């Protein structure tokens, strides 16, 4: 940044599990260095202090699920030069978007005896459905090294080095035997956004899609292959309808397996 | 001034969104409201119709700070439902990954969230300007916990290696080689932590709590045991709902849990410690004495010492488990679904986490009930604040507000968990 003033970083929470903002505190080796480069101006999970905006970089965690939050996100956008959404809740609506396929009133009455006290929207939606977003970092949870890369890129006014290819490419890079070819466990690797380092396949389980859809995913071809290998529609529905259920390619694919 | 309002709109250094309002009239506390405005996420509703095998991955997403707790309570509930008992090395590895979560979560709370209150800093980053080496020690201690979770779970947040019946892949003995020296360092760092936090100034505050925790015949509790209290409770975990009820209150999105006909109770490190001191390892018991505590502690502000003692224990226990580890032939035990009810209750870093599932013959979830530790502590937090403000009503507003926040942070509340749950407001009119 041009001036000698340290850039201001803010961290905002909407509906979420806190895991993605925890990723910043989980950068044990980098945290104090990051704090040396920026003023942590607003980050309630970590500090009582709150500096006024505008903020140079805002990290937004969580999805929009209440009328109040649908208003608040506009204030955050107005106060932020660059706004980066982090994690599956902020980029796709998160696991709580499973309500989008059901009647939310029924959901409220399952959990709460007096649903009239609960204020909630019918749908859990990603941040980009409400405002302009400068960068979306995927994952449930995000990869903390990618987070440091994205913050560093925006501080230095360059493009973040985050590949949009599939988990398959990461598997090949690591030399992991392909489960799909070896008739291993059901795997969403071919259609899932990279970033985890092919974690599940390296632990002998199929990818369950927690980084959401990759760029141009061919979900129909993958489903066809799994059906050929004996998977049922119901299982494919569950597989596509989880942590990124409301991301469009996964949503549409899951709907084709619904009775 | 006889009447005032203490108000914190967005309580900091807790996990999730909450607020606090204390109304003071004629120098007496008229009302305390600990509000959770974290939006509801309806886990218990959307688990319906999903297969049993997804419960550990889905419920982990309730909380990014203690995903292992959710994974452990859910897998134990499912195994209970299907009549499967896990023992030997797989059982030991489950204790080991829980040790990792306790180390990570306790170090986070002690160093980054709670210690700044005692030393008068807004946060740990400001504290690091004067206490650089100490904050570094805390971060490295936290990192050892995370590395243990990553080795066993694949990653520290929402681990991918836990399944009903065991693990997807189990480590070799050699995989632990690099971690052993670091865990020994961590145990020493945790002992230093006990000595460091025990020198803090603690407000005079004692209360006759009903402590509730798991108790196991021969170990400090993680995954198994009976639910006991210091006031006569002694039940199996499947009797939980006979003795505890959840109430909904209008000012909070989290349900309040109380003991039937007795009222509020306390869960978490303080409860575990008071009920299980005899099960701590000799190193952890000695650390307790070095920290100036006896086997009972009823000052919630001293929970920071107890967390440090539990961190010593978790490092010590992890070293013991690794030392005795032999790789099991199979990473998991096969399970056969059946129509049934399953119960699971384990000790999350913040206290007992109860899960109950009703399943059909294919193992599809028909009904789920989850009671996280913070919703159980909500009432006792309000009770502490009532007592604390009553005794300190003449303190200046900013000082009283900060101390109220500190009193809430004694519980390391995890609000993301409790809504399935904080903001401080002290109204002196």
For chain B, say whether A94 makes contact (Cβ under 8 Å): yes
**b/e map of B252-290 (b: 16 or more CB within 10 Å)?**
bbbbbbbbeeeebbbbbbbbbbbbbbebbbebbbebbee
Interface touch B41/A40, C-beta < 8 Å: no
Residues 6+ apart with CB under 8 A from A111: B40, B42, B43, B44, B45, B420
Looking up tokens 């995000």 gives A142
CA B398 to each of CA B34, B201, B289, B404: distance values in angstroms, whole numbers, following the listed order: 18, 18, 35, 10
* CB distance A211 to A138 below 8 Å: yes
**pLDDT score for A113:** 62
Interface touch B154/A199, C-beta < 8 Å: yes
Interface touch B61/A94, C-beta < 8 Å: yes
Going from the first residue of chain B to its last (429 residues), give the mean pLDDT of each consecutive group of 10, the final group possibly shorter. Answer: 73 73 85 78 90 98 95 98 97 98 97 94 93 96 98 97 98 96 98 98 94 97 97 96 83 76 93 98 97 94 98 98 97 97 98 97 96 89 90 88 89 65 44
* CB distance B228 to B213 below 8 Å: yes
Residue A67's closest chain B neighbor by CA?
B39
Helix pair angle (B177-198, B282-290), 10° resolution: 30
Interface touch B160/A205, C-beta < 8 Å: yes
pLDDT category of residue A90 using cuts at 50, 70 and 90: very high
Report the pLDDT averaged over residues A67-96.
97
CA nearest to B335, candidates B93, B69, B85: B85
Looking up tokens 């969104």 gives B17
* CB distance A214 to A181 below 8 Å: no
* CB distance B387 to B3 below 8 Å: no
Q: What percent of chain A has pLDDT over 70?
A: 93
Domains held by chain B: number: 1
Omega within 30 of 0 (cis) for the link into A54: yes
CA distance B105 to B125: 18
Looking at residue B220, which CATH number applies to its domain? 1.10.645.10
CA distance B352 to A229: 42
ipTM above 0.85, yes or no: yes
**pLDDT score for A215:** 92
CA A249 to each of CA A140, A211, A252, B50: distance values in angstroms, whole numbers, following the listed order: 17, 13, 5, 21
- What's the residue count for chain B? 429
- pTM for the full model? 0.94
DSSP A100: G
* Residue of A48, A95, A204 lying closest to B122 (CB–CB): A48
Looking up tokens 């909070």 gives B252
Token digits of residue B213: 């925790």
Residue A142's closest chain B neighbor by CA?
B157
**pLDDT score for B420:** 40
Interface touch B54/A238, C-beta < 8 Å: yes
* CB distance A212 to A162 below 8 Å: no
Which range of residues forms the domain containing residue B421?
4-427
Domains and CATH numbers, chain A: 8-155 (3.40.50.700), 167-256 (no CATH)
């Amino acid at each position: 940044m041009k001036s000698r003033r340290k850039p201001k970083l803010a961290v905002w929470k909407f509906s979420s599990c806190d895991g993605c903002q925890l990723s910043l505190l989980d950068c044990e080796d980098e945290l104090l260095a990051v704090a040396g480069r920026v003023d942590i101006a607003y980050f309630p999970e970590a500090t009582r202090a709150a500096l006024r905006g505008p903020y140079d970089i805002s990290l937004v965690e969580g999805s929009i699920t209440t009328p109040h939050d649908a208003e608040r996100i506009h204030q955050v956008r107005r106060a932020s030069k660059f706004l980066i959404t982090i994690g599956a809740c902020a980029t796709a609506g998160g696991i709580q978007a499973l309500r989008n396929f059901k009647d939310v009133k029924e959901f409220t009455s399952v959990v709460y005896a007096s649903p009239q006290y609960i204020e909630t929207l019918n749908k859990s939606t990603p941040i980009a459905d409400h405002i302009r977003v400068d960068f979306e970092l995927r994952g449930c949870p995000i990869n903390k090294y990618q987070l440091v890369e994205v913050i560093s890129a925006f501080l230095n006014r360059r493009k973040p080095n985050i590949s949009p290819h599939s988990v398959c490419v990461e598997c090949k890079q690591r030399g992991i035997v392909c489960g799909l070819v070896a008739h291993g466990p059901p795997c969403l690797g071919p259609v899932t956004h990279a970033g985890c380092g092919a974690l599940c396949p390296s632990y002998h389980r199929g990818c369950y899609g927690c980084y959401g859809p990759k760029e141009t995913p061919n979900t129909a071809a993958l489903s066809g292959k799994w059906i050929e290998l004996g998977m049922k529609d119901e299982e494919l529905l569950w597989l596509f309808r989880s942590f990124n259920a409301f991301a469009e390619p996964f949503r549409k694919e899951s709907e084709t397996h619904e009775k | 001034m006889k009447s005032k309002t203490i108000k914190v709109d967005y309580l900091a250094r807790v996990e999730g969104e909450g607020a606090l309002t204390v109304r003071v009239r004629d120098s007496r506390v008229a009302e305390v409201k600990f509000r959770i405005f974290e939006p509801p996420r309806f886990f218990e509703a959307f688990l319906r119709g999903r297969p049993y095998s997804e419960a550990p991955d889905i419920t982990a997403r309730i909380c990014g700070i203690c995903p292992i707790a959710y994974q452990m309570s859910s897998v134990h509930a499912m195994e209970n439902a299907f009549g499967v008992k896990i023992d030997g090395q797989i059982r030991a590895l489950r204790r080991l990954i829980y040790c990792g979560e306790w180390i990570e979560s306790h170090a986070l709370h002690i160093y980054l969230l709670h210690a700044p209150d005692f030393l008068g800093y807004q946060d740990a980053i400001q504290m690091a300007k004067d206490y650089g080496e100490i904050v570094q020690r805390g971060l490295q201690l936290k990192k050892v916990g995370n590395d243990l979770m990553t080795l066993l779970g694949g990653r520290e947040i929402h681990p991918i290696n836990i399944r009903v019946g065991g693990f997807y892949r189990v480590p070799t003995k050699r995989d632990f080689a690099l971690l052993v020296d670091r865990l020994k360092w961590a145990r020493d760092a945790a002992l230093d932590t006990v000595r460091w936090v025990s020198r803090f100034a603690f407000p005079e505050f004692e209360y006759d709590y009903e402590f509730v925790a798991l108790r196991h015949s021969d170990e400090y509790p993680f995954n198994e045991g009976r639910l006991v209290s210091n006031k006569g409770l002694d039940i199996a975990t499947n009797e939980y709902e006979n003795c505890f009820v959840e109430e909904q209150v209008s000012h909070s999105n989290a349900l309040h849990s109380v003991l039937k006909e007795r009222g509020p109770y306390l869960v978490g490190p303080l409860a575990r410690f008071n009920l299980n001191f005899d099960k701590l390892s000799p190193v952890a018991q000695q650390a307790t004495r070095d920290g100036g505590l006896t086997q009972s502690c009823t000052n919630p502000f001293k929970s920071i010492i107890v967390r440090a003692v539990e961190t010593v224990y978790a490092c010590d226990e992890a070293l013991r488990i690794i030392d005795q580890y032999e790789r099991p032939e199979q990473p998991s035990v096969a399970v056969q679904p059946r129509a049934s009810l399953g119960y699971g209750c384990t000790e999350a870093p913040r206290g007992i986490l109860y899960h109950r599932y009703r399943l059909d013959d294919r193992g599809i979830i028909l009904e789920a009930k989850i009671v996280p530790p913070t919703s159980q502590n909500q009432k006792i937090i309000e009770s502490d604040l009532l007592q604390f403000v009553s005794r300190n009503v003449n303190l200046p507003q900013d000082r009283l507000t900060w101390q109220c926040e500190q009193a809430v942070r004694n519980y390391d509340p995890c609000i993301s968990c409790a809504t399935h749950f904080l903001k401080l407001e002290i109204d002196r009119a």
